[in-house]
Structure 1
């Protein structure tokens, strides 16, 4: 198994995982236009970092994250937007390895914290995040579509 930075050749597999992730989180169907923009942000604009998990020449998971700023901490942090593993690879310690890779990256760019969210119905993810030392913040997330 390898956890590595995504390459353009991985994008078809990433798209399948992103679609499965959206379905798992009951987020609806993703448009091809959105997925094409994602490719551009990962590989061309360099706004978001994307790790993939490769097992036996197959991409079985991914994580996307980016550097953001916290006004209250007056410091940068890493925002983990997505972490998803296919069903067959969950519970094998791969999520912990992905988080360790993101920690190393965060430290390398002087970020002292990683933040993320998960739906309240995703009890397995909540248990995993608690197990690795994550602390829950009580906040509601809002979305305002403007176009």
Structure 2
């Protein structure tokens, strides 16, 4: 098993994982323009958005995206994990922890002392996993407002 940054050849697999991730989190997903947009944002070397791939042999079994954000309250930057998803057969094997450790290393390199993310409150498997990592949680509601 290998964790690495995404490459052009991974885009179709990333889209399939995104679709499965959305379904898992009971959300909608539209494939329209995804390949072009993901290529533009996660493969651009000047982009702040990083995408990791978990690969077993030649199969992509998971992905994570993360990027640096600023906290006004803390007056410092933190790393935000937007997505972390593994195929069901890959869960429970330590791959998620390896991905999070990779993100932690990147965070330290970027001067970020905190990593933040969220998961739906019904995703008990993820909540258990994050708690086992030693992560603390805050209860908040996330809002979406179309511009």
Equivalent runs, 1:27-42 vs 2, <5 Å: 27-42=27-42
Report the CA distance between 1:34 and its aligned residue.
3.9
- Looking at structure 1, the residues matched to 31 and 48 of structure 2 have their Cα atoms a distance apart, in angstroms, of 20
Report the CA distance between 1:142 and its aligned residue.
0.4
Aligned partner of residue 121 in structure 1, secondary structure: coil
Could you say which residue in structure 2 is the equivalent of 1:111? 112
- Looking at structure 2, the residues matched to 59 and 113 of structure 1 have their Cα atoms a distance apart, in angstroms, of 28
Could you say which residue in structure 1 is the equivalent of 2:23? 23
- Looking at structure 2, the residues matched to 109 and 57 of structure 1 have their Cα atoms a distance apart, in angstroms, of 30
Report the CA distance between 1:140 and its aligned residue.
0.6
- Give me the TM-score of the superposition, normalised by structure 1: 0.95
Question: Does the CA contact (< 8 Å) of 2:11 and 2:35 recur in 1?
Answer: no
Query: Would you say how many aligned residue pairs link Structure 1 and Structure 2?
Result: 146
- Looking at structure 2, the residues matched to 142 and 36 of structure 1 have their Cα atoms a distance apart, in angstroms, of 27
Unaligned runs of 5+ in 2: none
- Looking at structure 2, the residues matched to 26 and 38 of structure 1 have their Cα atoms a distance apart, in angstroms, of 21
Q: Which has the larger displacement, 30-39 or 7-16?
A: 30-39
Could you say which residue in structure 2 is the equivalent of 1:130? 131
Unaligned runs of 5+ in 1: none
Q: Does 1:82 align with 2:83?
A: yes
- Looking at structure 1, the residues matched to 88 and 35 of structure 2 have their Cα atoms a distance apart, in angstroms, of 22
Give the RMSD, CA atoms, in angstroms. Answer: 1.1
- Give me the TM-score of the superposition, normalised by structure 2: 0.95
- Structure 1 segments of 4+ aligned residues over 3 angstroms from their partners: none
Report the CA distance between 1:78 and its aligned residue.
0.3
- Looking at structure 1, the residues matched to 60 and 34 of structure 2 have their Cα atoms a distance apart, in angstroms, of 20
1:15-52 deviation digits (Å, cap 9, x = unpaired): 11011101111111223224431221101251310000
